Amino acid sequence: MGRIVLREGDITEEAVDAIVNAANSDLVLGSGVAGAIRAKGGPTIQAECDTHGPVDVGGAALTGAGELPARFVLHAAGMPLGGSASEDSVASSLRASLALADEKGCRSVAVPAIGAGVGGLSIQRSAELLLEVAREHLAGETGIEEIRFVLFGEPTYRIFESTLDGAKVEAQMKKLRERSS
Other C-beta atoms lying within 10 Å of the C-beta of residue 47: 12
Structure confidence at residue 181 as a pLDDT band (50, 70, 90): confident
Residue 64 β-bridge partners? 72
Q: How far apart are CA 48 and CA 27, in angstroms?
A: 9
Q: 79: how many CB neighbours lie within 10 A of its CB?
A: 25
Q: Which domain holds residue 18?
A: 3-180
pLDDT in tens, 118-153: 888 999 999 999 999 999 999 999 999 999 999 999
DSSP state of 16: S
Distance CA 33, CA 37 (A): 6
Q: What is the CATH classification number for the domain harbouring 82?
A: 3.40.220.10
User: Number of folded domains in the chain?
Assistant: 1
Whether residue 94 has pLDDT greater than 90? yes
CB-CB contact of 131 with 124 (8 Å)? no
pLDDT in tens, 36-93: 999 999 999 999 999 987 999 999 999 999 999 999 999 999 999 888 999 999 999 9
Q: In the β-sheet with 18-24, what is the strand arrangement from edge to edge?
A: 3-8, 146-151, 108-111, 18-24, 72-79, 60-64
3-class secondary-structure state, position 102: helix
What pTM does this model have?
0.91
Tell me the backbone φ, ψ of residue 113, rounded to 5 degrees.
Answer: -80, 75
